Each structure stands twice: as structure tokens, then as C-alpha cells.
Chain A
């Protein structure tokens, strides 16, 4: 029986940091979707770069964060997607402020 909702999952994923830039994957806008059902948590995740070897590590980390919080019978499905392509506009307002820019209107 699943005890988390979308926001709970999002909060867990907020602990997954891209160490290069010191920012979590939620603020970076890399989490495209979260779908929580009784027996399954499905996360759509993208990366800023498909040429970056850290992808595997970040997916591992996200998986471990969820696995630590969810009951063992819950299936965890982290799906890596490249469509639609990530753009800087997907970053949260807080992240934009950290990197010192404001989106073009």
C-alpha cells in the first residue's frame, strides 16, 4: 500500500542533487512527470545532457531515495525521456535566481 502522493515523491526527489551545479533535479526542471498509483510510482525524468555520464548516477540516486521511503511491494519506475527537450525555461524561479538570470518575456 502506497503511502506517498505526488508531492511526497517530488519532495523525495528534491534531495537528488546534480553535484556539478549544486542544484536538485526538481528545481532544475528535470522531473517531467510523477504518477503515483496503489502499487506503482512512475517518474518521468530528463537530463540536461545526453552526453553526460552522470545520468546513471542521478537515476540511481533518485531510485534509492524513493526505495528508502516506499514500502517494498511498491514498484518504482524511473523512466528517462528526451522529449520534449529540456530548456532553461524549465528551471524554477529559485534556480534562476541562483544562476542569476530572468527568463525572456
Chain B
């Protein structure tokens, strides 16, 4: 991949492993050509959040409120789908892999322009490309965690196919949850190799994943027992991760490394809680427990992980510098406090608390994006000031 980065225009053409020498004079150049794809993801994020707030009766502009029915698909397929498939495309370095974020982004655009009928098909196509891109990694690396990532990626198009086939969103959501949770679990499995889990621990991991997949497959026959089983699998997974994740060690370091580790460890608490709510209450749409389980998992766990990794994934995707700053903790704290408030509201039947919790989460996401953007701008201004100084990673 070294060859690709200095050759303007040809950035995506070479596969990893085919990397070769770079022209000596070249310097790092931001990969702004990837920005439109990322922006498509952020359009979905914005509309998805707005639609979510509209559902909780927060006043929203008409255009955003119309997205209320699309809250789930916009967040999962439109945002996470784009972000995950874009970072995967950067990793595999093949031009065709970029079709995944593009297709998902177009799906979002159609959904927001009253052509919602087409969006699921585009999300399906995006998911298939992501799964294929992940499978292509196996050419370079035959490791358990790659199989795991490919399996996780396949859950996105599988769930989306069920949706197209007429399944209700609440029936599709566990598949999409599986896509996100197992993608993260696969990445953590990879990193756990730095403090290698015992063979017994690896077998246990495989067993937990098998149980989660079995629960997904069982859902059409016994929806609520399957949802409870899925929740139990998530609780077990959180325990495994809390025990074997390298974050346990890296949290002892400083700066960005510690921030990432704390994002993950805090996320595991919500993974366990979200799973536990599903064990107790199943997944019944419209109930407070449904709201609690999904948002503990997606905001508390998945977004916490996103907060941790944005400071390294952003620079990796856009090739810009994004130096760590302790202010990163402010939106993270707001995110976790707001999820706690929301779940408290759900538990007490206090709708007001849930509403405010949701607003808090939206503000946390907005604050986080602002903090990230400020960090990039600060570093760019700094670079222009002192001409050719080369500084730390990212």
C-alpha cells in the first residue's frame, strides 16, 4: 500500500501486499476524494438522529421529522454501514470495495428523497460488497478474526434481505445488531492476540458467536425466546471481552491509547446491560425495554466504540492529522450520562427522562463531531505555521 499513497489519483488501485516503492519527493496528501463517501454517512447520521428525536416529540424541521420512520435503517445502514464499509475499503485497498459505501450512501439519498422503496435494495447491495471485500482479506490473512469479520459483514445483507422480503424492522434489527456487535468483537479478537487468549478462551468465544447466530436463526420460530437467547449471548460476549480485551492493558497507558481503551471498557458495561434487558424482556417494539436494550447497545456500546476509534479512523480514511486532546472526554462523558438517563427513564416509566436522555445523546454526538473537526483544523493550522515539520502518527 506504500506505493498507492503517494501516487495521486491511483490511490485505490493497488492491493495490500502488492505495495512497492514510492517516489522519493512525495509527501502525505489528504485523501479528500474519500470525503464525499464519508459525508453520505454523516447525512444519514444527521437525518437519523433528527428522525429519532422527532419520534420522542422533540420539535424538528418537517424535512427531518419525515425521517422518523427511517431512524433505524438510517443509523445502521446509512451511517454505520457507510463508515464500516468505507474503512474496510481503505483497508483492502481495492477500488471495487468503495462501491459498498457508495451504494449505501445512495440508498440514504433515495430514502430521504421519498424513494424509500429503493433504499433497502441499495443497502442490500452495499452489504454484499462489504461481505465480499471482507472475504478478500482472507487472501492475505487466514485468521479466525477475519472469518469473524466476514461473518459479521454477512449479517448486514442477510438482515436487509429479510427486510426486503417483508419482515418488520424489529425482526430485522437483531441481524443488524449482530452485524455491528460481531464486527467490533472481531476487531477486538484480532487485538486480543497481543495478550493471546488461551485455546479454551478462544473456544468459548466461538461458542458465544455460535449461540448468537443460532438465536438469530431461531427468531422466526420463537421470536421472544430467541431474543432472550440473543441477549444472553451478548451478556456472555461482554464478559469475554471485559476479560480478554487488550484494552484492559492499554487503559494503563496515556493519551489517545487510554481514551480508546476507556471508550471500549465503558461500552462493555452497556453491552452487558443491553443484553441483560433483552434476557429479561425480550424484544417487543414500542415497550420501554425495547428502547432501553437497543439504545444501550447502539449508543452506549457501539457509539462509545466509534468515539474511541474516530480519532484513528478519521485520519486513516482522510489522511489528515487529528491529534488527541483531553477535551475528547467531554462528549464521551455526555454520551454515557445521557444513555444512563435514558435507561433510567425507561426503567421508571419516566418518559421525560428518556426524552432528555435522547436529546443528551444527540448533543454528545454533535459535540463529538465538533471536537473532531476542531482537532483537524487546529493541526492543519499548526502545520501551515511551521513549514516542513513532521510529527506523530496520524
Task: List the A side residues contacting B311 at CB < 8 Å.
Answer: 19
Task: List the A side residues contacting B145 at CB < 8 Å.
Answer: 49, 51
Please tell me which one of the listed residues B137, B246, B319, B393 contacts residue A51 in the complex, with CB atoms under 8 A apart. B137
Interface residues of B in 183-200 (CB under 8 A from A): 187, 190-191, 193-196
Task: List the B side residues contacting A7 at CB < 8 Å.
Answer: none
Interface residues of B in 297-313 (CB under 8 A from A): 309, 311-313
Interface residues of A in 21-73 (CB under 8 A from B): 21-23, 28, 48-61, 63-65, 67-68, 72-73
Contact code string A1-33 (vs B, CB < 8 Å = 1, else 0): 000000000000000111111110000100000
Chain B: residues with Cβ within 8 Å of the partner, total of: 59
Task: List the B side residues contacting A49 at CB < 8 Å.
Answer: 91, 141, 145-146, 187, 190
Task: List the B side residues contacting A53 at CB < 8 Å.
Answer: 87-88, 90-91, 313, 316-317
Asked whether A75 and B393 contact (CB < 8 A) given A21-B257, A53-B87, A80-B1, the answer is no
For the complex, give the distance between the alpha carbons of A68 and B28 in Å: 13
SS class of chain B's interface: helix, strand, loop or mixed? helix
A20 & B313 in contact (Cβ 8 Å cutoff): no
Please tell me which one of the listed residues B2, B149, B309, B315 contacts residue A78 in the complex, with CB atoms under 8 A apart. B2
Task: List the A side residues contacting B91 at CB < 8 Å.
Answer: 49-53, 55
Please tell me which one of the listed residues B25, B88, B141, B255 contacts residue A85 in the complex, with CB atoms under 8 A apart. B141
Q: How far is the CB of B382 from chain A (nearest CB, A)?
A: 16
Task: List the B side residues contacting A60 at CB < 8 Å.
Answer: 5, 28, 319
A19 & B393 in contact (Cβ 8 Å cutoff): yes
Residue of A50, A52, A64 with highest tally of chain B CB at under 10 A: A50
For the complex, give the distance between the alpha carbons of A53 and B27 in Å: 19
Q: How far is the CB of B371 from chain A (nearest CB, A)?
A: 17
Task: List the B side residues contacting A72 at CB < 8 Å.
Answer: 24-25
A22 & B140 in contact (Cβ 8 Å cutoff): no
Please tell me which one of the listed residues A19, A73, A80 contacts residue B2 in the complex, with CB atoms under 8 A apart. A80
A54 & B19 in contact (Cβ 8 Å cutoff): no
Interface residues of B in 101-157 (CB under 8 A from A): 134, 137, 140-143, 145-146, 149
Task: List the A side residues contacting B140 at CB < 8 Å.
Answer: 50, 82
For the complex, give the distance between the alpha carbons of A77 and B19 in Å: 9
Q: Does residue B227 face the partner (Cβ distance < 8 Å to A)?
A: no
Number of A-B contacts (CB under 8 A): 159
Task: List the A side residues contacting B25 at CB < 8 Å.
Answer: 72
Chain A: residues with Cβ within 8 Å of the partner, total of: 48
For the complex, give the distance between the alpha carbons of A76 and B5 in Å: 14
For the complex, give the distance between the alpha carbons of A89 and B231 in Å: 36
Q: Does residue B392 face the partner (Cβ distance < 8 Å to A)?
A: yes
Q: Does residue B225 face the partner (Cβ distance < 8 Å to A)?
A: no
Task: List the A side residues contacting B309 at CB < 8 Å.
Answer: 20
Q: How far is the CB of A31 from chain B (nearest CB, A)?
A: 14
Task: List the A side residues contacting B256 at CB < 8 Å.
Answer: 19, 22
Q: How far is the CB of B149 from chain A (nearest CB, A)?
A: 6
Asked whether A79 and B88 contact (CB < 8 A) given A53-B316, A57-B316, A98-B249, the answer is no
For the complex, give the distance between the alpha carbons of A80 and B145 in Å: 20
A50 & B393 in contact (Cβ 8 Å cutoff): no
Q: A53-B316, A68-B390, A80-B17 are in contact. List 12 more A-B contacts (CB 8 A).
A: A20-B257, A50-B16, A51-B145, A53-B90, A55-B16, A56-B1, A56-B90, A59-B1, A72-B25, A77-B2, A99-B249, A100-B195
A-B pairs with beta carbons under 8 Å apart, 6 shown = A20-B191, A55-B16, A60-B319, A79-B20, A99-B194, A101-B195
Return the 5 tightest CB-CB contacts between A and B, nearest first. A22-B257, A77-B21, A80-B19, A53-B90, A99-B195
By a beta-carbon cutoff of 8 Å, the part of chain B in contact with chain A is 1-2, 4-5, 16-17, 19-22, 24-25, 27-28, 87-88, 90-93, 134, 137, 140-143, 145-146, 149, 187, 190-191, 193-196, 246, 249-250, 253-258, 260, 309, 311-313, 315-317, 319, 324, 390, 392-394
By a beta-carbon cutoff of 8 Å, the part of chain A in contact with chain B is 16-23, 28, 48-61, 63-65, 67-68, 72-82, 85, 87-88, 91, 95, 98-101
